Amino acid sequence: MVNIIVELSKYLMIIFITMYTYLCFNIFGYYDPDKKKRMLRKQNVLMFTIHMIAFVVMYLETEDIKMFAFYLMQVVLLGAIILLYTLIYPKVSRLVVNNMCMLLSIGLIMLTRLNYEKAVKQYVIAAGTVALSLVVPVIIRKFKKLPEWRKFYGIAGIVSLGVVAVLGQVSYGAKLGFTIGGISIQPSELVKIVFVFFVAASFKYSMEFKNIVITTAVAAFHVLILVASKDLGAALIIFVVYLTMLYVATHQPLYLLAGLGAGSVASVAAYYLFGHVRTRVNVWRDPFATYDNGGYQVAQSLFAIGTGGWFGMGLFQGEPDTIPVADEDFIFSAISEEMGLIFALCMILICVSCYIMFLNIAMQLHNMFYKMVALGLGTCYIFQVFLTIGGVTKFIPSTGVTLPLVSYGGSSLLSTLIMFAIIQGLYILREDEEEDIERKKKERLRAKRSRQAYPQRPGKTGNVPERAKRSGQKRQEAGKGKARPEQRVR
């Protein structure tokens, strides 16, 4: 009976997430607020249904009551996120909130399946970060001096990365962070956000060539510190984010070509300078030939994706534990194996839907600083998704970055939730701008109608007859009689 339920559950979850994904894109074609609200409520129902089905299966497989308790805790968290955001911020983007909760729920489902203890830690970090991030939209909306702190953003980013480069602990061949009180901290995750603010503030300050050179130098310093720490994934993200923001701000193809050329040269240099880069490139070229020397991870990832097929093996029916770090960098492979490739592709499309919303917000904002922030955060998010999925599918060499909101990792989860909160603040700003523009239009229209309904009355001078104009000759004749007598010369 359990096997039948497990087999049926995977098809139901695929159907429901396909419907959810369809609504993610279909909602862009509707302008009626009531229809949008109905579609967003349907998304909530589908999300909680998928979440419930997954935990029913996990409870039947483990027969552990803590699964049921943990399920209720997650329902409370997801429901609180949706409720608090919509109550505190009525103008919030419900689609972004729904997608954030959907990706978070998928991550918690898979982490519970792979490692219950890590899932609990992820839950605690998520709950704390959500409570913290609820104040972020207020800061974005009310604090108007954020564009003036460009020097602070640049110094804070460089100092944070420099501390890691000097004092950081080595993990998987790179200095990623350090541990304080048993909690692992990876500053590069938060530096990505600070870096976006730095570039946006710099371009807001000036678009002169001198300022662009200085900004490029500071950005290059960020990248060099990350390369020195061997955190090449974060270095690549910083590079792509800056190049994208620079091109959009200047509209100069020459900058884009120069950046791509510099990136190509740096990639070749990294291949010859760092042994672990050469290893990852060789693994990417043929993971099966290097199966016993670094290729095991990618090979197992490909085996898992192929074994799962389109519909997956079902929860607890696969062997994702054979994939190294399946709960972090390679969680996409674990999801593909047990939930199916269709489910995994829908998850990717949900990420794309988030990115489209980020770009939509960026294009509709009028302030240069906020526009650049939305663009930079959107680029950072979608490029990290690309690096993660591209690495586990052998599309590109593995870079060691996590899948936002899905993979295990406190720093990654913290930075991503804050990133989404910033986007919500920008969305509210956009709504405020549109309301202000609409209000001014209505005021001008009322003034125009008022002038048409009550035309200006003619002045009193219009009824007074004009004085008869005297000719020049008459003025001279009249002036003769009134002429002053000649003065006597003394």
Q: What is the pLDDT averaged over residues 329-334? A: 92
Residue 456 lies in a domain: no
pLDDT digit string, tens, across residues 220-279 = 999 999 888 888 889 999 999 999 999 999 999 999 999 999 989 988 888 888 777 888
pLDDT digit string, tens, across residues 383-426 = 999 999 999 998 988 888 899 999 998 889 999 999 999 999 99
Backbone phi and psi for residue 72, each to the nearest 5 degrees, phi listed first = -65, -40
pLDDT digit string, tens, across residues 64-111 = 899 999 999 999 999 999 999 999 998 899 999 999 999 999 999 999
Q: What is the pLDDT averaged over residues 156-184? A: 74
Residue 187 lies in a domain: yes
Choice among 144-158, 182-196, 269-283, 473-487 with the minimum mean pLDDT: 473-487
Q: What is the pLDDT averaged over residues 320-326? A: 87
Please tell me the distance from the alpha carbon of residue 313 to that of residue 311, in angstroms, as a whole number.
Answer: 7
Q: What is the mean pLDDT of the chain?
A: 86
Nearest CA-CA partner of 138 in 73, 88, 213, 78? 88
Residue 452 lies in a domain: no
Residue 459 lies in a domain: no
Residue 460 lies in a domain: no
Residue 294 lies in a domain: yes
Angle at Cα 151 formed by Cα 148 and Cα 154, nearest 5°?
125
> Is the separation of the CB atoms in 364 and 437 below 8 Å?
no
Residue 403 lies in a domain: yes
Residue 112 lies in a domain: yes
Number of domains, the chain: 1
More confident residue, 282 or 348: 348
- Which token pair is 34? 């009531």
> Is the separation of the CB atoms in 97 and 86 below 8 Å?
yes
Task: Output the CA torsion 389→395→399→405 (10° steps).
Answer: -10
Domain that holds residue 167: 2-438
Please tell me the distance from the alpha carbon of residue 70 to that of residue 390, in angstroms, as a whole number.
Answer: 32
For the cut 70, the answer to whether the pLDDT of residue 490 exceeds it is no
Percent of all residues in the chain with a pLDDT value above 90, rounded to a whole number: 54
Q: End-to-end distance of the chain based on CA atoms, in angstroms?
A: 137
